[in-house]
Structure 1
């Protein structure tokens, strides 16, 4: 695919480094990680050593101080690995959980945690979703009550990526039940091993199988007052702010997955023979793949253009919502066609396209369901 003209030499060097890492250190081991249900911690530490886990964070803490375009490159290249579970493990750490600390942490909190986060020594998770609160963040029921110099946390979180093996959790809880949740929610920093905080169970998923996902329980967990992240009762707006970063990243990951699926499918149909010719010689097949290629190219252009606009300080909620809605659906359309053109082989467990089909389904659900994103667009038309 034609290179994006907005990329700098620094962006291209970064992308090439990522591609080498994926080719040499991810793809050879991905199937093992899928079977194990987790990404080895040494792999994440290696990513930290290479500078992948602090792309936009200050050099003071070991970051690279790059831009949103670099983050999009990162997400896209991890998506192109073909292992969605690996990609989301890293992306939750870099672009969905740790930004809460980066955006709202006190100098002491930043100094205490950021170096280890960027180095991959501490892996982060964000705990917002609950049994009755997914895309509707206002529905959370986990509570925190002030008791002297501590907050006492009680509740339950569900579908938490990095929930089993994480070290540091950014947990949303209601702190003022008299207020609307948009004015009475606070985020807390909770360390693994805090008394009363337990991983209730790892969750089994149809896709993203190398990503650990958990249900978390908080029973009278005492959190020191200096572990409040950001403003008391201001957590809802922090979550909404970070959704913009999360959603553009998920869109980029999805298009990386789509690119990989098209790549392996083109190789397959140009080699596979049926009825005396290759599948590529069938007009219906080559036109369908051409159409999907064009749609992916257009979606990528929107992603990169929006990344530039975000770096320029523009309000891009409408555009980011469009990216999430468009790419979450498009990647599933691409996967459907690519699996179809693999025939029976593509339905066999252990094939790359079968795994990628399973991994892609959640892209229209997680991080904001397509229907919710379309409503966000409609509000701004």
Structure 2
């Protein structure tokens, strides 16, 4: 038996029907379409507005589409991992809810939390599980209902975020020139003061005080986060390029975390990569946290060819950051249902 490698064999996605436009936001807070578009590059975002529905609903929708597109037997799924910052509940895990709704009988499930780096980190974890030889098929889902954390009176943050989910099937292969090739993942550890939610955890449990003082919303110091994001993402991309003898000429695609168009442009410029090789969909989804990278794959599946050299990169609260080198495993334009 040859060396086992891990490949993505399919992608599913889901975004809510409701579209929150910049024009509508301008009626809620002191902002405008020009202000938002110029600073972050977002025109609209999808919001899950139905009462009683959370992250597991979107994750299940994305996974169900993935199973239908790939034709995989649900009973052959060994594990399902949901990476999210917005779980349905503190417990049980969102992944356990998704497994139950999908009726997967032979899969164990758990949540993984690494903020906006969630998908990047979890894909590496799933690949390692596959490469161990103990697991053959794992579903990885990046999903976040960021609207549940957003203060829609704060124009600095409410314009940034949307809701959505993306799911990939990760499988074992003995073919060596495709799949996960290398990862460079790091955690700074200094990011707490600049990006967090002040209350709701064990340090500051929910109380009348925390609710009255609006402490259950996302807090961000935008300029500091911007600076760290550009520095780390570009450095991580360049490190992966150096370690794998990659250049602008032999990289086919860069798929970044979609936090802010200006961040993406700055990262491409610092890494000396042409912007036309960078997949960007922040204009119509906003920042969906752990869902951004899989949603970008979902949006562009038909453009991806077997053997394409792809770099994933992300940055998030913590500060967590990293990049990975992946060789695409199939021709996306031959998949029924590819967008």
When the two structures are superposed, what TM-score results if normalisation uses the length of structure 2?
Answer: 0.27
Highest relative contact order (Cα 8 Å, sep 6+), 1 or 2?
2
Give the TM-score normalised by the residue count of structure 1: 0.25
**Greater Rg over alpha carbons, structure:** 1
* Structure whose residues are more often helix by fraction: 1
